[in-house]
Structure 1
Amino acid sequence: MTERNSLAQEVGAALRDHGITAAITALIGGTIALLAAVSRRAFTNDAMLARLDRELLAERDRVDRQRSEDRKSDADRLERIETDIRAMRNLMFDAFQRGHSD
């Protein structure tokens, strides 16, 4: 809103001081400046959104890699547990067999 007020004030001051030609020039210049500011903000927002998209993609990739590593770690741990259970079962079975044969 302050940009509009200052633009209107500039146009009014130019009209008072230099006439209609200067007022029109000030209006055109102010409009161009306003369009430049809006365009710059739009491009800045687009650049920010693109950067956020890249960061989000990188974070997703990192999380996917971490999940993959976690799944592999869990599978390795489960395999070790199953191996230990089989070994204990075999050990108990052998001990049971020896206990009955004596």
Structure 2
Amino acid sequence: MTDRTTLLQEVAQALRDNGLASAVTALVGGGIALLASATRKAFTNDAMLARLDRELIAERNRVDRQRAEDRKGDADRLERIEADIRAMRDLMFEAFQRGRTD
């Protein structure tokens, strides 16, 4: 057989060796260990959620900055296009005026 024993076997052995008080102590100790494990896991999950929130805020800020830069670039490009259209319109108007006076 194996040298390893299960929790139930250990509790049964403690009950046989030391009576009910020892078994209750072992059961309470196991319960406290279980609560400690659950509490640690809960705090770990909270820390992970807080870290994910920080990362999400940083990513949103990065995307917002990128959008602002893209909007500025689009506005500059639109301004250049409009200036080119005005210049072309003025050039065509001048050419049309010269053509009529000749």
Unaligned runs of 5+ in 2: 1-5
Amino acid at match of 1:12: A
Amino acid at match of 1:76: D
Question: CA offsets, 1:27-57, max 9 Å, x none?
Answer: 1111111011000000001001101110111
What is the distance in 1 between the residues matched to 2:87 and 2:9?
A: 89
Unaligned runs of 5+ in 1: 1-5
Moved over 4 A (4+): 6-9
Amino acid at match of 2:30: G
Match of 2:44 in 1: 44
Is 1:99 aligned to 2:87, yes or no? no
Identity %: 75
What is the distance in 2 between the residues matched to 1:34 and 1:7?
A: 13
Q: Which aligned pairs between 1:9-48 and structure 2 lie closer than 5 A? A: 9-48=9-48
> How far did 1:19 drift?
1.9
> How far did 1:15 drift?
1.6
What is the distance in 1 between the residues matched to 2:57 and 2:9?
A: 47
Amino acid at match of 1:39: T
Question: CA offsets, 1:67-100, max 9 Å, x none?
Answer: 1111111100100100010011011111111111
Give the RMSD, CA atoms, in angstroms. 1.5
Q: Which fold has the larger relative contact order, with Cα–Cα distance below 8 Å and residues 6 or more apart in sequence?
A: 1
